[in-house]
Structure 1
Amino acid sequence: MRKLILSSITVLIITFNSFGQEISPYIKIGESSESIQQVSDKVINTLKENSFEVLGMYNPSNKSTLKVIAFTRTDLKETVVKITDRGALAATFKVGLIQKDGKVVISYTNPDYILRAYLGDNYVTFKSTFEKFSADLKTTFSTLGTSFTPFGGSIKADKLGKYHYKIMMPYFSDPVELNEYTSFEEGLKIIEANLKAKKGQTVEVYKIVYPNEKIAVFGVGLQSKEDGESVFLPKIGEDHLAALPYEIILQGKTATMLHGKYRIALHWPELTMGTFMKIMSTPGDIEDTLEGLCE
């Protein structure tokens, strides 16, 4: 009986610690004295050699000192799409490279953070798959650095699935509708054509299409000098560049995006209200740009 009680207490402690755990949006792998191109090549080769699929890459803000590499893996991609409320947004992870002070800092988006935030209660259902993905990613990146230091603020694990910045601010479940089409195929054709034309000074960074499920996710670089990344990123922190690019998700006949006031706050959880006010127009600017791509 005593063993049973002790065992129950242990389980409760582990469960409590798991829910009460603070999780950060990014993990710093380390630093390199090589050029950003050399580091980029190493990251890409390392991912490919370890069964990850590199989806695309680009320079946020059109700056040669910033680079993002988007990637996925088959097991993750096939699991998250089972979650009908835009689960496919969680299929893509990013490595961020930033060159400063003669070094290239290497970081990546933390799967434990993003998956809990985007998938909510569904995270637990597929937890073993996600934990393996996260562990394999760390093993893969261990050839590039040894720091693996969380950074970028933190949110409690049990709060991520229902996260919002402040009262009256949007949740994950409050997306912005960009357009509705007569069919999935029509929507896909329109968005692809607009991205090919770089409409609104955008660039297609990556694309994932699930033809059977009629779902597509586009990673979109925002390169306008008037209201794009070069305007808002320096104000809120370039160290978080792996938050980019922004996404459009087409599910069935409807194209949506995560609300800027949710997505920006989630990826920059330390933002003060004062800093948020400096980019007051950014959520609307992003919406206008992505809406233009869907028309």
Structure 2
Amino acid sequence: MKINFTKSMLIPTLICLNLTTLDADQTKTIIVKVPEVPKVLAKVPNVNIITDNGTEYKNNPDIEVPKKSNAIGSSKRIPPNYNKKEHTEIFKDVKFGEVNNSRVSAYLQTAIIPKEELIKKLTVANFKVLSEYKVDKKGKLTSIVFTNDDMTKLASKDMRGFAGSLRILIDKQNSQISISNPLYVMKAFMQDEYNDKIAKETLYKLHSIFSDLKNSKDIVKFARLKRYHFMENMPYYKDMTKVATGDNKTLLEKAKKSKKIVYEHHLDNGSVIIGVELSSRTSKFVKKIGYQNSGLLPYPILIENNTAKILAPKYYIAVMYPLLSMSEFMTIATIPGAIQKDCDKVFR
């Protein structure tokens, strides 16, 4: 039996699908077209470059900035409340020191002036200078602690005494002065009792004294200051460390006998903040992590409700050095314990 394959054969091709049917009289070719894929227009978001004090920031809210690891062992640590280039907009009508795009600077900086002139300016503006403290032996770094009636009254509440004063660092090495920003300090140390009116009035007084104040590079998200900590499992503001117990008056008398007190700041509620000089060995930690924020010394101790307590050193150092990296913190790993011991000795 002879089979004729020409009537039923299918002939495929690689370019298109041809279905060919052959019979005795004619040849018919059917071409099946592959449907076209619809075109999709991708919209690429514009990226605006904003320059602030020589630093460029990309204004593109559609791009998510990848998070950096805070794990121990990484070369750098970025605190959860700080992103160096996360700015999306810079508001020109905001004064230096004010909250700008949800962020605030820890310090205000300006050109250096003689110490005597600086103290006179503070006095004229109704500030009270509590102490002058040489951070280094050569006298190139001087920490000045100052306050006023509004700050004192505001801080006269339980666990809020640390918000009652500000610091100025006279830095002859870099020919500048660095002032702790009242908005930053009060938000961190007053917590939920933060008073924006008093904080801004204090800031504006500083602007009236120093006409050319600029923000430092230490920028932190303002809303996160009340829950600020260095990283996971590190202390918060509320995690204060007790260094002595006893009657308030007795504790103050013991501290005076130690001859380590640099200043006393008596609050309206009967509490008192004392600034104490750390041992020469302990205080050298500012050299390792940078003198630029060394105005945190002398170390403050709050005496209230028959207890002497300090801000946990791991918290206090971190909040005063918001750019501190993990590798830098590891170089002073023994310092938090040494600070606690130095403060404890003040009351023995």
TM-score interval (norm. to shorter):
0.7 to 0.9
Higher share of residues assigned helix: 1
Structure 2 match to 1:36: none
Q: Aligned to 1:121, what secondary structure does the other structure show?
A: helix
For structure 1, which runs of at least 5 residues remain unmatched after alignment? 1-13, 33-38, 199-203
SS of residue in 1 equivalent to 2:238: coil
- 2:262 aligns with one of 196, 205, 209: 205
Secondary structure of 2:244's match?
A: strand
Of residues 83, 90, 94, the one that matches 2:167 is 94
Q: Distance in 2 between matches of 1:241 and 1:91?
A: 19
Q: State the partner residue of 2:148.
A: 73
Q: Deviation at 1:156?
A: 0.3
Q: CA separation in 2, counterparts of 1:242 and 1:121?
A: 25
Match runs of 1:45-56 below 5 Å: 45-56=120-131
Shift of 1:244: 2.0
Determine helix, strand or coil for the equivalent of 1:214: coil
Match of 1:130 among 190, 199, 205: 199
Higher relative contact order (Cα pairs below 8 Å, separated by 6+ residues): 1
**Any idea what SS the aligned residue of 1:107 has?**
strand
Name the stretch that deviates more: 154-163 or 20-29. 20-29
| C-alpha distance in structure 1 between counterparts of 2:202 and 2:249, whole Å | 31
> What is the match of residue 108 of structure 2?
27
> Which of 199, 211, 214 is the matching residue for 2:270?
214
1:109-160 C-alpha deviation (Å, 9 max, x unpaired)? 111111100111111xx22122111111221223xxx1x2211422100000
Residue in 1 that maps onto 2:184: 113
Measure the CA separation in 1 of the matches of 2:276 and 2:295: 13
Partner of 1:262: 315
Distance in 2 between residues matched to 1:107 and 1:162, nearest whole Å: 24
Q: The residue matched to 2:242 in structure 1 has which SS? A: strand
Q: Is the 8 A contact 2:184 2:225 kept in 1?
A: yes
Number of aligned residues: 252
Q: Structure 2, unaligned stretches of length 5 or more?
A: 1-93
- The residue correspondences of 1:218-229 to structure 2 (distance < 5 A) are 218-224=274-280, 227-229=281-283
Identity of aligned residues (%): 27
Aligned match of 1:287: 340
For 2:347 and 2:238, the matched residues in 1 are separated by 20
Larger Rg over CA atoms = 2
After superposition, the CA RMSD in angstroms is 1.9
Give TM-score scaled by structure 1 length. Answer: 0.81
Aligned residue number for residue 233 of structure 2: 168
Residue 242 of structure 2 aligns with which residue? 177
Q: Is the 8 A contact 1:153 1:269 kept in 2?
A: yes
The secondary structure found in structure 1 opposite 2:269 is: coil
Query: Which whole-Å deviations, capped at 9, do the CAs of 1:184-208 have from their partners, x for residues lacking one?
Result: 11111111221x2x4xxxxx32111
2:297 to 227, 241, 244: 244
Equivalent pair of 2:278/2:343 in contact (CA under 8 Å): no
